[in-house]
Each structure stands twice: as structure tokens, then as C-alpha cells.
């Protein structure tokens, strides 16, 4: 690249670039040494160009002193593999009913191909990423998810059986601290290990929330394929408190797949995470905009 600036337009472009860099400096200071847990959803990782930008942003965060921890999903990718293998799959309340055969496929796709793709992409742009599943080092110790539901006909409460769907019981922060000390970026597949060595399929949002709380993250960033939480007029809500979020669930403004997402965020901010942001993973460099500018993107949820 030549160091000569050829004309006025070019000079203006470089000045803007310099301005952006100086604008980022206070944020780099503020977040140096802090942990950002980034949930990278299966829908957000569909586009190869965006996947490369994501990898670059994660490597850059690490380079400037933030400690990024990536927790990935892969719902659509699991669905494709199950279809190829002719295994039927159902969802209840946004969670995949997971029998023995399904959990093997889930682990293969999440801890195998997807995890290594993300690791390879980050390493290709100069980061040092290490792929782990919740089984490695006992990182995510899980138990069978027990969710109470009320039968609409009999009005009797029962426990929903989703098979090998798990919920985190304990996240071992030591493993992540060791990787941080060694300058490595953890890339975590949301697979948990049970008390008897069972494999559990954990919703990636839930896993990211539990990890963020366990390490006392400064931010939990949830990359999805909507711009954030929308109000009843379908406009973006930039900021929410836990109380306001509960009201929006109660009045039906927040519904469907957004409910477990905001619940994860509320849980995280009530358990030591400074703030959680639901943001659009389809926007190039959404992570950098959130971390290094005062024009955050998406919806930020705080405790109060
Ligand atoms: N108030 C709301 N604001 C934004 N999205 C909402 C809202 N209520 C329901 N949703 C739905 O939640 C979906 C996001 O959840 P989901 O599809 O489970 O995300 P992911 O696959 O990234 O985990 C949106 O696509 C939208 O259809
Ligand atoms: C229990 C459960 O539903 N697990 C999810 C795990 C992957 C995931 O959560 O991926 P996304 O973030 O891309 O949706 C599943 O089997 O699809």
C-alpha cells in the first residue's frame, strides 16, 4: 500500500478513519481486561462473508484487551443434518425434543463441524481460538431440564420430558480463566455433561447466559436475526430494565423465541452481568459498533 494521499477526497476518508479510531480509544480503556460473552446464533452464522467479519471482530476485540468468550448455537445446521439422516425432530417451547439418537447428532454438529469452523475462521485472521464443548474440563455441568407445565385439559401440573435436554447446574470459570491467561479465545459448544457422564443438549442462549454469570461478564451480547426487541409499533426499543421487560412479556409485546432470549438476559443481569444486548448479527461489525462506539446497536437490558 502506498503512503501517499492522492487527493482531497482520499484525505477526508482517512481523516474519518482516524476519527473513528480515536473515538474507540475511551471504550478500549473502559473494557480492557473485561469479559464479553458473545452468543453467536445459528441464524446469524449463515452468510460466509458475515462469518468472516464476525471472526475478525472477535480477533480485534481480543487484540485491544477485551476478553471475548464465544458461545455458539447451530439450530438450523442441526435441523439440516437430522433431515439428511431422516431423523424427525420436534420443538416444545423453543427447545428441541432430544432422544438418544438426536443428542448424538446434536453433539456431532455443534461440537464437531460448527465449533471447528468458528475456531478456524478466528485463527485465520490472527486470533488464537480454542474450541471446547461444555464437556471439556467439566466446563458446563448439567442436569436434565425439568420444566413444569400445566395440562390445559386437566389443569394438572406435570413435568415436561424433553429427553436429553439439559440445563446448566454449574459452570467452571477456572477453565475460562486459564484460557484467558494463555491469551486464547474460547469457542464453546452448548453441550453439557451430566452427573453420570450423560451428554445434554443445552439451548445456546441458556448456555451463554450461564457462562456470562459464572465469569461475571461485563456484557452478554446475543447475536440474532432481528434488530433487537421491538415495541407494539414494531420500532426498536434501545433500552430495557428487567421490570419493563417483564411487563412487555405480560402484555404480549414480547413473544415466541424472544421470550427465552430476554429471560436469559434478565437472569444474567440479575446474576452479576452488567448489561445484556440483543442485537442483529446480520449487521456487519455489529460487535464493534456495540463495543467501541456510543451508538450501541440493538436492545440493551439492565437490571434497573
Ligand atoms: N417484541 C419482539 N421483538 C423482536 N422479536 C420478537 C418479539 N416478539 C417475538 N419475536 C420473535 O422472536 C424471534 C427471535 O427469536 P429466535 O428466532 O428464537 O432467535 P434465534 O434463532 O437467534 O435464537 C424473532 O424473529 C421474532 O419473530
Ligand atoms: C435444547 C435445544 O433446543 N438446543 C438447541 C441447541 C442449538 C441452539 O440453541 O442453536 P441456536 O442458537 O442457533 O438456536 C438445538 O438443538 O437446536
- Ligand 2 lined by 162 (C-beta under 6 Å): no
Cβ(166) to ligand 2 under 6 A? no
pLDDT on residue 4: 65
Ligand number, closest to the Cα atom of 82: 2
Predicted structure pTM score = 0.93
160's grid cell: 415436561
**Structure confidence at residue 296 (pLDDT):** 79
| Per-domain residue ranges of the chain | 33-142+169-302
Fold classification of 33-142+169-302 is Carbamate kinase (3.40.1160)
Whether residue 226 has its Cβ less than 6 Å from ligand 1: yes
| Residue 173 neighbours by CB distance under 10 Å | 16
pLDDT of residue 295: 77
- From the CA of 91, the nearest ligand is 2
Cβ(224) – ligand 1 distance below 6 Å: yes
- Atom in ligand 2 nearest the alpha carbon of residue 106: 16
All three cell numbers of 74, joined, read: 447451530
Per-residue pLDDT of the chain (304 residues; tens, 9 = 90+): 556 667 777 888 888 888 888 889 999 999 999 999 999 999 888 899 999 999 999 999 999 999 999 999 999 999 999 999 999 999 988 899 999 999 999 999 999 999 999 999 999 999 999 999 999 999 999 999 988 887 778 888 888 899 999 999 999 999 999 999 999 999 999 999 999 999 999 999 999 999 999 999 999 999 999 999 999 999 999 999 999 999 999 999 999 889 889 999 999 999 999 999 999 999 999 999 999 988 778 999 999 9
Ligand 2 proximity of 95 Cβ (cutoff 6 Å): yes
96 marked as part of a ligand binding site: yes
Q: Which atom of ligand 2 is nearest to the CA of 162?
A: 1
Amino acid at each position: 500500500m502506498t503512503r501517499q494521499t492522492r487527493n482531497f477526497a482520499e484525505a477526508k476518508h482517512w481523516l474519518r478513519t482516524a476519527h473513528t479510531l480515536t473515538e474507540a480509544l475511551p471504550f478500549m480503556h473502559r473494557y480492557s481486561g473485561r469479559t464479553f460473552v458473545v452468543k453467536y446464533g445459528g441464524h446469524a452464522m449463515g452468510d460466509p462473508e458475515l462469518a468472516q467479519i464476525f471472526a475478525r471482530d472477535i480477533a480485534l476485540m481480543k487484540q485491544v484487551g477485551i476478553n471475548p468468550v464465544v458461545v455458539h448455537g447451530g439450530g438450523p445446521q442441526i435441523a439440516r443434518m437430522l433431515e439428511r439422516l431422516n431423523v424427525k425432530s420436534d420443538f416444545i417451547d423453543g427447545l428441541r425434543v432430544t432422544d438418544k439418537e438426536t443428542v448424538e447428532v446434536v453433539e456431532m454438529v455443534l461440537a464437531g463441524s460448527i465449533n471447528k469452523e468458528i475456531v478456524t475462521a478466528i485463527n485465520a485472521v490472527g486470533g488464537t481460538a480454542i474450541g471446547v464443548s461444555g464437556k471439556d474440563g467439566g466446563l458446563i455441568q448439567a442436569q436434565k431440564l425439568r420444566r413444569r407445565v400445566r395440562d390445559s385439559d386437566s389443569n394438572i401440573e406435570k413435568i415436561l420430558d424433553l429427553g436429553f435436554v439439559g440445563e446448566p447446574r454449574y459452570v467452571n470459570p477456572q477453565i475460562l480463566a486459564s484460557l484467558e491467561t494463555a491469551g486464547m479465545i474460547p469457542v464453546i459448544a452448548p453441550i453439557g455433561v451430566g452427573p453420570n457422564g450423560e451428554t445434554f443438549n443445552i439451548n445456546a442462549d441458556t448456555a451463554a447466559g450461564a457462562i456470562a454469570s459464572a465469569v461475571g461478564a461485563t456484557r452478554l451480547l446475543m447475536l440474532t436475526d432481528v434488530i433487537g426487541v421491538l415495541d407494539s409499533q414494531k420500532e426498536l426499543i434501545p433500552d430495557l430494565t428487567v421490570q419493563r421487560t417483564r411487563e412487555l412479556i405480560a402484555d404480549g409485546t414480547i413473544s415466541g423465541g424472544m421470550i427465552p432470549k430476554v429471560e436469559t438476559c434478565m437472569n444474567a443481569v440479575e446474576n452479576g452481568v452488567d448489561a445484556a444486548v440483543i442485537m442483529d448479527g446480520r449487521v456487519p461489525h455489529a460487535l464493534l459498533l456495540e463495543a467501541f462506539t456510543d451508538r450501541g446497536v440493538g436492545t440493551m437490558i439492565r437490571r434497573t
